[in-house]
């Protein structure tokens, strides 16, 4: 798939005349009786009904709230669209296999997608906070990621393999959370540079909060800084 630049009655009984003698019917009912234990469970909703009124751009962490050593800047809409593709490994105009593994469609604008990126100028690692409006609960994304642990992405003749591994979700006060590790590896590359990410995601009403630590190569991720920034981002959205 290519990412766009989103009553008939039955018989009356078992006898020849179409009815069951009363005694026989009582025996049949007694033999079929059973007790089911437990509680009824409703199906999980696939839409979000609650709404955060504040503009997304006002809910981003301030650059000064980023961990020490990360110089942060808020991205304009066009740069945010590019960054969103980098975070999933699927840029606009890409073809994704297998089918059904294209990341959820999103709109770009100050109240649709808001992104702030911090860069460690020594390690060149980045930490990105992305806020998006969504009408779907986080469980929909989780089920897609379970089906799409490895996908092949083709764009402008280049092919990459995106591998995603779900991890233990972080404990935080949100409607739902998930965590993942992701690598984006080119099929053909002289340098064989692999993009590695650790991502924490939470959802509060119709706002999805995604915080990603990204680096190139095998450097150990700064998980403490990631946890700190994720906590900051979720709390700010919760306050609205």
Report pLDDT digits (tens) over 76-104.
Answer: 988 999 999 999 999 888 999 999 999 98
Instruction: Identify whether 98 is preceded by a cis peptide bond (ω within 30 of 0).
Output: yes
pLDDT at 217: 72
pLDDT at 47: 84
Helix (H, G, I), strand (E, B) or coil at 71: strand
Instruction: Say yes or no to pLDDT of 13 above 60.
Output: no
pLDDT at 190: 55
The number of beta carbons lying within 10 Å of the beta carbon of residue 79 is 14
Residue 140 C-alpha from the chain's centroid: 7
Separation between Cα atoms, residue 233 and residue 227, nearest integer Å: 10
Mean pLDDT, residues 122-138 taken together: 95
- Fold for the domain defined by 56-239: Protein Transport Mog1p; Chain A (3.40.1000)
pLDDT at 126: 96
Could you state, in order of their start, the residue ranges of all structural domains in the chain? 56-239
Q: Is 140 left (phi over 0), alpha (psi -120 to 50) or beta?
A: alpha
| Statement: the pTM of the whole predicted model exceeds 0.85 | no
Mean pLDDT, residues 37-60 taken together: 75
Mean pLDDT, residues 149-176 taken together: 94
Environment class of 184 (CB within 10 Å of its CB; exposed 0-12, middle 13-18, buried 19+): buried
């Amino acid at each position: 798939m290519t990412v766009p630049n989103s009553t008939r009655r039955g018989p009356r009984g078992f006898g020849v005349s179409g009815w069951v003698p009363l005694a026989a019917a009582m025996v049949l009912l007694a033999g079929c009786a059973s007790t089911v234990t437990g509680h009824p469970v409703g199906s999980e909703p696939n839409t979000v009904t609650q709404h955060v009124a504040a503009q997304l751009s006002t809910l981003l962490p301030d650059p000064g709230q980023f961990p020490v050593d990360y110089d942060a800047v808020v991205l304009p809409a066009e740069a945010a669209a590019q960054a969103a593709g980098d975070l999933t490994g699927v840029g606009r105009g890409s073809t994704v296999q297998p089918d059904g593994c294209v990341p959820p469609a999103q709109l770009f604008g100050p109240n649709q997608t808001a992104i702030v990126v911090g860069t460690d100028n020594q390690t060149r690692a980045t930490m990105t906070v992305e806020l998006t409006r969504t009408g779907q609960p986080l469980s929909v994304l989780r089920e897609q990621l379970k089906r799409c642990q490895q996908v092949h992405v083709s764009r402008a003749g280049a092919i990459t393999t995106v591998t995603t591994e779900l991890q233990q979700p972080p404990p935080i006060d949100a409607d739902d959370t998930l965590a993942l590790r992701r690598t984006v590896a080119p099929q053909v590359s002289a340098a064989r540079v692999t993009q590695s990410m650790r991502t924490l995601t939470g959802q509060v009403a119709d706002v999805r909060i995604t915080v990603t630590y990204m680096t190139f190569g095998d450097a150990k991720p700064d998980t403490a800084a990631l946890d700190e920034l994720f906590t900051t981002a979720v709390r700010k959205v919760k306050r609205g």
